[in-house]
Amino acid sequence: NSNGVLLFDGNNHTIYLLIGTKIIKNKSDYLSSDNRGRLLLIQLSISKITSNISFHLVDDMYLEGPISKVVINNEGTIFASSNSTLYIFELGIFSNSHLKIKKITDYKSFNFICDLSLNGGPDADSVIVSDIYKSLSIYKYIKLKHSLIEQSRDYSPLWITSSLFYNINKDNQKQFILS
Protein backbone atom coordinates (compact mmCIF):
# COMPACT_ATOMS: atom_id res chain seq x y z
CA ASN A 1 0.00 0.00 0.00
CA SER A 2 1.05 3.54 -0.69
CA ASN A 3 2.06 5.35 2.45
CA GLY A 4 2.99 8.71 1.02
CA VAL A 5 1.60 11.48 -1.15
CA LEU A 6 3.41 13.90 -3.45
CA LEU A 7 1.99 17.44 -3.31
CA PHE A 8 2.72 20.42 -5.53
CA ASP A 9 2.02 24.02 -4.52
CA GLY A 10 1.54 25.86 -7.82
CA ASN A 11 1.58 29.29 -6.17
CA ASN A 12 5.24 29.12 -5.16
CA HIS A 13 6.37 26.09 -7.22
CA THR A 14 7.15 24.01 -4.15
CA ILE A 15 7.06 20.21 -3.93
CA TYR A 16 6.08 18.49 -0.69
CA LEU A 17 6.00 14.88 0.45
CA LEU A 18 3.42 13.77 2.99
CA ILE A 19 4.63 10.48 4.47
CA GLY A 20 3.15 8.14 7.05
CA THR A 21 5.66 6.05 9.00
CA LYS A 22 5.52 2.80 10.95
CA ILE A 23 7.71 2.27 13.99
CA ILE A 24 7.28 -1.38 14.96
CA LYS A 25 9.00 -2.23 18.25
CA ASN A 26 6.84 -5.18 19.26
CA LYS A 27 6.48 -7.50 16.24
CA SER A 28 4.64 -10.18 18.21
CA ASP A 29 1.83 -7.78 19.15
CA TYR A 30 1.09 -5.38 16.27
CA LEU A 31 -1.53 -3.52 18.35
CA SER A 32 0.94 -2.89 21.17
CA SER A 33 1.31 0.67 22.48
CA ASP A 34 5.05 0.33 21.71
CA ASN A 35 4.23 0.57 18.00
CA ARG A 36 3.90 4.17 16.84
CA GLY A 37 3.43 6.20 13.71
CA ARG A 38 4.44 9.60 12.52
CA LEU A 39 3.02 11.85 9.82
CA LEU A 40 5.80 13.85 8.12
CA LEU A 41 5.47 16.88 5.85
CA ILE A 42 8.73 17.33 3.94
CA GLN A 43 9.61 20.09 1.48
CA LEU A 44 11.80 19.17 -1.49
CA SER A 45 14.14 21.80 -2.90
CA ILE A 46 15.95 21.30 -6.18
CA SER A 47 19.02 23.41 -6.89
CA LYS A 48 18.80 25.07 -10.32
CA ILE A 49 22.59 25.11 -10.60
CA THR A 50 23.60 21.60 -9.46
CA SER A 51 20.22 19.78 -9.67
CA ASN A 52 20.84 18.48 -6.13
CA ILE A 53 17.73 17.66 -4.12
CA SER A 54 17.51 18.70 -0.48
CA PHE A 55 14.84 17.80 2.06
CA HIS A 56 13.45 20.01 4.83
CA LEU A 57 11.08 18.79 7.55
CA VAL A 58 8.22 21.32 7.59
CA ASP A 59 5.92 19.66 10.15
CA ASP A 60 5.34 16.32 11.84
CA MET A 61 2.86 14.65 14.15
CA TYR A 62 3.11 11.49 16.25
CA LEU A 63 0.18 9.05 16.29
CA GLU A 64 -0.78 6.21 18.62
CA GLY A 65 -0.17 3.41 16.10
CA PRO A 66 1.76 2.71 12.89
CA ILE A 67 0.31 4.46 9.84
CA SER A 68 -0.74 2.04 7.12
CA LYS A 69 -2.24 4.44 4.55
CA VAL A 70 -2.32 8.19 3.82
CA VAL A 71 -4.56 9.90 1.26
CA ILE A 72 -5.36 13.57 0.69
CA ASN A 73 -8.14 15.32 -1.20
CA ASN A 74 -7.96 18.50 -3.31
CA GLU A 75 -9.01 20.69 -0.37
CA GLY A 76 -6.10 19.62 1.84
CA THR A 77 -8.02 17.15 4.02
CA ILE A 78 -5.77 14.24 4.98
CA PHE A 79 -7.09 10.80 5.86
CA ALA A 80 -4.63 8.44 7.58
CA SER A 81 -5.30 4.97 8.94
CA SER A 82 -3.59 3.32 11.88
CA ASN A 83 -4.78 -0.06 13.13
CA SER A 84 -8.51 0.47 13.73
CA THR A 85 -8.41 4.28 13.76
CA LEU A 86 -9.10 6.68 10.90
CA TYR A 87 -7.50 10.08 11.52
CA ILE A 88 -8.58 13.24 9.74
CA PHE A 89 -6.21 16.20 9.42
CA GLU A 90 -6.18 19.50 7.56
CA LEU A 91 -3.16 20.70 5.66
CA GLY A 92 -3.02 24.47 5.55
CA ILE A 93 -1.43 27.68 6.73
CA PHE A 94 -2.43 28.10 10.36
CA SER A 95 0.36 30.19 11.92
CA ASN A 96 3.51 32.06 10.90
CA SER A 97 2.59 31.58 7.22
CA HIS A 98 4.05 28.04 7.29
CA LEU A 99 2.30 24.97 5.98
CA LYS A 100 1.12 22.83 8.93
CA ILE A 101 -0.72 19.61 9.68
CA LYS A 102 -3.65 20.12 12.05
CA LYS A 103 -5.53 17.19 13.59
CA ILE A 104 -9.28 17.54 13.14
CA THR A 105 -10.66 14.31 14.59
CA ASP A 106 -10.29 10.55 14.72
CA TYR A 107 -12.70 7.64 14.49
CA LYS A 108 -11.96 4.43 16.40
CA SER A 109 -15.04 2.42 15.54
CA PHE A 110 -13.53 0.64 12.51
CA ASN A 111 -12.08 -2.84 12.35
CA PHE A 112 -8.40 -3.22 11.44
CA ILE A 113 -8.08 -0.94 8.38
CA CYS A 114 -6.01 -2.30 5.49
CA ASP A 115 -6.77 0.32 2.82
CA LEU A 116 -8.28 3.76 2.16
CA SER A 117 -9.28 5.34 -1.11
CA LEU A 118 -10.81 8.73 -1.96
CA ASN A 119 -13.16 9.39 -4.82
CA GLY A 120 -11.79 11.55 -7.60
CA GLY A 121 -13.29 14.81 -8.67
CA PRO A 122 -13.05 18.31 -7.29
CA ASP A 123 -14.69 17.65 -3.92
CA ALA A 124 -13.35 14.15 -3.10
CA ASP A 125 -15.75 13.84 -0.20
CA SER A 126 -16.17 10.05 -0.10
CA VAL A 127 -13.68 7.58 1.32
CA ILE A 128 -13.63 3.78 0.99
CA VAL A 129 -12.50 2.04 4.17
CA SER A 130 -11.67 -1.63 3.71
CA ASP A 131 -10.66 -3.73 6.65
CA ILE A 132 -9.08 -7.07 7.26
CA TYR A 133 -12.22 -8.46 8.90
CA LYS A 134 -13.99 -8.68 5.56
CA SER A 135 -16.02 -5.52 5.43
CA LEU A 136 -16.02 -2.56 3.10
CA SER A 137 -17.58 0.81 3.91
CA ILE A 138 -18.07 4.02 1.98
CA TYR A 139 -18.20 7.17 4.11
CA LYS A 140 -19.04 10.73 3.14
CA TYR A 141 -16.87 13.36 4.83
CA ILE A 142 -18.78 16.49 5.90
CA LYS A 143 -16.07 19.13 6.22
CA LEU A 144 -18.17 21.78 7.97
CA LYS A 145 -19.14 19.33 10.73
CA HIS A 146 -15.82 17.41 10.71
CA SER A 147 -17.76 14.16 10.61
CA LEU A 148 -18.10 10.97 8.62
CA ILE A 149 -21.46 9.55 7.58
CA GLU A 150 -21.63 5.92 6.54
CA GLN A 151 -23.22 5.74 3.07
CA SER A 152 -22.97 1.99 2.57
CA ARG A 153 -21.36 -1.15 3.99
CA ASP A 154 -20.78 -4.60 2.60
CA TYR A 155 -20.16 -7.29 5.20
CA SER A 156 -19.48 -10.06 2.72
CA PRO A 157 -16.52 -9.11 0.49
CA LEU A 158 -13.71 -11.65 0.37
CA TRP A 159 -10.42 -10.46 1.92
CA ILE A 160 -10.04 -7.00 0.44
CA THR A 161 -6.42 -5.87 0.35
CA SER A 162 -6.79 -2.71 -1.74
CA SER A 163 -9.48 -0.42 -3.10
CA LEU A 164 -9.61 2.39 -5.62
CA PHE A 165 -12.31 4.81 -6.77
CA TYR A 166 -11.99 5.08 -10.51
CA ASN A 167 -15.09 6.81 -11.82
CA ILE A 168 -18.01 8.96 -10.86
CA ASN A 169 -20.52 9.07 -13.68
CA LYS A 170 -23.00 11.81 -14.63
CA ASP A 171 -25.61 10.38 -12.22
CA ASN A 172 -23.10 10.73 -9.36
CA GLN A 173 -22.79 6.95 -9.04
CA LYS A 174 -19.43 6.02 -7.57
CA GLN A 175 -17.61 3.08 -9.14
CA PHE A 176 -14.58 1.42 -7.64
CA ILE A 177 -12.17 -1.49 -7.99
CA LEU A 178 -11.39 -3.97 -5.21
CA SER A 179 -8.65 -6.55 -5.01
Q: Is the pLDDT confidence value at 2 over 50?
A: no
Segment 159-173, tens digit of pLDDT: 777 777 666 556 666
Any idea which of 15-19, 54-58, 129-133, 147-151 has the lowest mean pLDDT? 129-133
Q: Where are the beta strands (DSSP E) in 26-120?
A: 36-46, 53-63, 69-72, 77-82, 85-95, 98-107, 113-118
Segment 40-79, tens digit of pLDDT: 999 888 777 887 888 899 999 988 888 888 888 878 888 9
Segment 18-49, tens digit of pLDDT: 888 887 776 666 555 667 888 999 988 877 78
In terms of residues, how long is the chain?
179
Does the global pTM surpass 0.75? yes
pLDDT for res 27: 62
Q: Is the pLDDT confidence value at 125 over 60?
A: yes
Q: Is the pLDDT confidence value at 121 over 60?
A: no
pLDDT for res 57: 92
One-letter amino acid for residue 159 of the chain: W
Dist. CA 88–CA 106, nearest whole Å? 6
